[in-house]
Amino acid sequence: MTISYPAGAGLLSYRFGLTSDAEVMICTVGLDIPVLDPDPQGAVDSKADAFAAAVTPANISTGYTFLGCRLQMGPSTGGGATYEAPRSVVGTADPLALPNNCAFLIKKITELGGRRGRGRMYLPPFVIDEADVDQNGMLSGATQASLQALVDDAFPLEGLRLFHDDTPSPIDPTVITALLVDRQIATQRRRLR
């Protein structure tokens, strides 16, 4: 699937490292630069700072590090600049983290109906103890509420956009009105080595 994003918008990647995994983990969301900050570097810095303020070392399992954000500017056909906002928030929490092929499914909600009006991203499992997920991969209500509060603080909605595939025809990025934590965890089977 090809994602379409216009000039003035970009793909924002939140980057995470794990000491036992050489591959950087990412979760992505669209970003409308003029809405947030006319300066792309300022925009990516503000998103990285918001995440680092909400997700402190005490919220991150030992072994995980929030590495900051990367912004790839449009157009999606190439030629856009890349902006970096490196951070190093090293986890100090004791919980036994879920296996790294697990992830929390975050639903991107917009005012559009249908499948093209929804999206999702996968947040690495750096924040919840394995004991808080049952044998069917379901979070307890309290754990889901706690994770939702963290997501609300870590991902301010200002400027966030849902990009769409370019078939049958491109449509403008859509304003994301909410990021909702799904009660069931997801797995990233294709990312296992």
Q: Do 20 and 100 form a contact (C-beta atoms < 8 A)?
A: yes
d(CA 68, CA 122): 16
CA distance 39 to 14: 19
Question: Residue 104 is encoded by which pair of tokens?
Answer: 């929390």
Two tokens at 75?
């157009």
| Structure confidence at residue 130 (pLDDT) | 83
Highest mean pLDDT among 39-53, 89-103, 177-191: 39-53
Size (the chain), residues: 193
Give the tens place of pLDDT for each residue, 136-193: 999 999 999 999 999 999 999 999 999 876 555 556 788 999 999 999 999 865 544 3
pLDDT for 129 beyond 70? yes
pLDDT at position 192: 44
Look up the pTM and report it: 0.89
Q: Does pLDDT of 100 surpass 70?
A: yes
Distances (CA, A) of 47 to 37, 178, 182: 11, 16, 22
CA distance 155 to 147: 12
Q: What is the CB neighbour count within 10 angstroms for residue 151?
A: 19
Question: Where along the chain do its domains lie?
Answer: 3-93+109-124+150-176
Q: Is 1 exposed, middle or buried (0-12, 13-18, 19+ CB in 10 A)?
A: exposed
Adjacent-strand bridge partners of 175 = 161
